[in-house]
Amino acid sequence: MITLILIALIASILYSLLIFRPKNFPPGPPCLPLVGTLPFVPSKNVHFTMVKKWINDYGPVVGLMFGSHPAVAVIGAKQVMEVLRRDEFQGRPYTFNAKHRSFNKRLGFFFTDGPFWQEQRRFTLRHLRDLGFGKKSLEGIIVDEAEVLFKKLLNVEIQETMVIINIWSVLSDPGHWGDPEVFRPDRFLDCNGKFVKDEWTQGSGTILTLLSFVDIQMYGLFKISALNVISGVMSGMRYARDDEELQALVNNLDELVRRSFRSGKISNIFPILKRLFPRITGSNEIMYYIKNAYNFIQRKITEHKQVLNENNPRDFIDAYLIEMQKGNSNGNAIFTEEGLIVTCHDFFVAGGDTTNNTLVFCLLYMILHPQVQNAVQEELDSVVGQDRRPSVEDRQRLHYVNAVISEVMRINPVVPLTVPHRVTKDTNLHGYTIPKDTMVLINLWSVHHDRGHWGDPEVFRPERFLDENRNFVKDEWIISFGAGKRMCLGEAMARNTIFLFFTSLLQEFLFSLPEDDPPPQTLPLPGMTMAPQPFRVKITRRI
């Protein structure tokens, strides 16, 4: 009898370790006991694997098992457009990490759905619109940030030009400069790439008339600017580029975005591993970065609470705090301080990296395609000229610029798999049964690289967005910001930031490859978003 009970017990444990695909589930990679299809899901650039292999092996809807959790990958334009529009595909998974990161509640945008998410989204869109999100008043913030970035670039340039001038004067001192005859702007940067003033360069004049240049590391050049624009709208605060608090936020968000995909893959499925082996899953580090960013946001909220004027909301945090007070007085606590922290965090995570990466990709393609850069500058010179900076109003007249930005966003969509979706009820797709709560990975990259639609998707060719009169023509197959109800909340802001930074930079500077540097790779770094690999660029001032 005891033997029988033991056998039954072992059999039931073994059975629970075996993982079965749900009935009529889409085909997919082999499914192993305990881990499901996980070993066959690459941690790096999985969107490529989906397009290069899975769609041929299994079709446009691929069944995956993350441990015992079903998931589907949706590849190809028809199916992608369909799931982005069908209501039951608009949920968000509530994973272990999601719960852990947001005070064990469903808060913010990335991991909420249903009435809570709808109310947050409606409120946020309304107030961001009132605060000038995507409108002219935001333009001022973006233009200021672009000017600050210019000053950083020019500061390095000016100081280096002074050294060149000093070579011809008694101030030239090999003891101080080491190699005063060499043009080496990075002598004015510290180990973090931050500009450091050198008192030995005092006293030279007329330097701005000289043509000079600087080599600079591109990875992350726009992160501070992008976060400052978001912070300006969220909290009314913008920071100096070398502000330590902001630098720390940038680093925290960067680490979070690069590490999340791998860590999430393991610890969402086996939460126990997260507790037993936090080092292997990387979950301690992830929480460390999240908490640092939360502390930053919490400090801003506390400052806002001290001077809150209910009749005069200055920014998003004020508007949210006022809504919180209303909710608390009528017993509806949907707006909470924890919710505000997670919402602001979602904005920083969603907006900083994506905007930066798109801008860096824009410059990367400019140095790989100098003739495209020339054409952009010719158009800028003829439409905007040199006497003023480009403005959002110029957008409709800058046809080639629009084509170039669209082509960069097409060839390298920085969020290639959207934020994961969840199926909110049992449903069907492409003839298969998709059970409620299945996670959905939607491959936007596959739409941007559909050979049938684009002809030569791997080729960088902005002209594909121009008609026979060289007017810009929008293409509905560009879905870098997603589509449907879950579409990016920050689209207007991101588009304006990218347009104004890109055009102002190209109006002022020529970007090229430093001598002896190999051409930069277009293959992205792994992570939740596509980031360009680090590369250097030579920046020449256009006179």
- Tell me how far, at minimum, the Cβ of 38 lies from ligand HEM, in Å: 22
Task: Give 121 or 389: the residue with its C-beta nearer to ligand HEM.
Answer: 121
Supply angle C-alpha 392, 394, 396, rounded to 5: 100
Task: Give 235 or 354: the residue with its C-beta nearer to ligand HEM.
Answer: 354
Local structure of 456: helix, strand or coil: coil
- Cβ distance 259 to 290 under 8 Å? no
- Tell me how far, at minimum, the Cβ of 193 lies from ligand HEM, in Å: 23
Query: How many residues at the interface with ligand HEM, by CB under 6 A?
Result: 24
Query: What ranges in 52-135 are assigned the alpha helix state H?
Result: 55-58, 77-85, 96-101, 114-130
- Tell me how far, at minimum, the Cβ of 482 lies from ligand HEM, in Å: 3
482 scored as a contact of ligand HEM (CB under 6 A) = yes
64 scored as a contact of ligand HEM (CB under 6 A) = no
Supply angle C-alpha 436, 442, 448, rounded to 5: 160
- Cβ distance 426 to 433 under 8 Å? yes
- Tell me how far, at minimum, the Cβ of 40 lies from ligand HEM, in Å: 24
Residues contacting residue 142 through CB under 8 Å, at least 6 positions apart: 229, 496, 497, 500, 501
Nearest to 111 by CA among 268, 282, 271: 268
Across 78-99, b (16+ Cβ under 10 Å) vs e yields ebbbbbbeeebbbbbbbbbbbe
Local structure of 433: helix, strand or coil: strand
Per-residue binding string, ligand HEM, 485-514, x by CB under 6 A, is -x-xxx--xx--------------------
Length of the chain, please? 543
Q: Distance between CA 167 and CA 174 in Å, rounded?
A: 10
524 scored as a contact of ligand HEM (CB under 6 A) = no
Q: What is the 3-state secondary structure (H, E, C) of 484-537?
A: HHHCCCCHHHHHHHHHHHHHHHHHHEEEECCCCCCCCCCCCECCCCCECCCCEE
Task: Give 324 or 493: the residue with its C-beta nearer to ligand HEM.
Answer: 493
- Tell me how far, at minimum, the Cβ of 46 lies from ligand HEM, in Å: 15
481 scored as a contact of ligand HEM (CB under 6 A) = yes
Q: Distance between CA 60 and CA 444 in Å, rounded?
A: 13
Q: Which residue is nearest to ligand HEM (CB)?
A: 490
404 scored as a contact of ligand HEM (CB under 6 A) = no
From the list 54-62, 260-268, 270-278, 480-488, the region that binds ligand HEM by CB under 6 A is 480-488
Q: Distance between CA 46 and CA 412 in Å, rounded?
A: 14
Is residue 344 a known part of a binding site? no
230 scored as a contact of ligand HEM (CB under 6 A) = yes
From the list 31-39, 375-383, 411-419, 512-520, the region that binds ligand HEM by CB under 6 A is 411-419
Per-residue binding string, ligand HEM, 342-381, x by CB under 6 A, is ----xx--xx--xx--x-----------------------
Q: Distance between CA 261 and CA 529 in Å, rounded?
A: 9
Per-residue binding string, ligand HEM, 117-136, x by CB under 6 A, is ----x---------------
Instruction: Single out the residue of 362, 415, 439, 537 in contact with ligand HEM (rule: CB under 6 A).
Output: 415
Instruction: Single out the residue of 109, 365, 501, 509 in contact with ligand HEM (rule: CB under 6 A).
Output: 109
Q: Backbone phi, then psi, for 226, in 5-degree steps? A: -65, -45
Task: Give 400 or 502: the residue with its C-beta nearer to ligand HEM.
Answer: 502
**Which residues of this chain interact with ligand HEM, rule CB under 6 A?**
109-110, 121, 230, 346-347, 350-351, 354-355, 358, 414-415, 418-419, 480-482, 486, 488-490, 493-494
Q: Which residues are part of a known binding site for heme?
A: 488
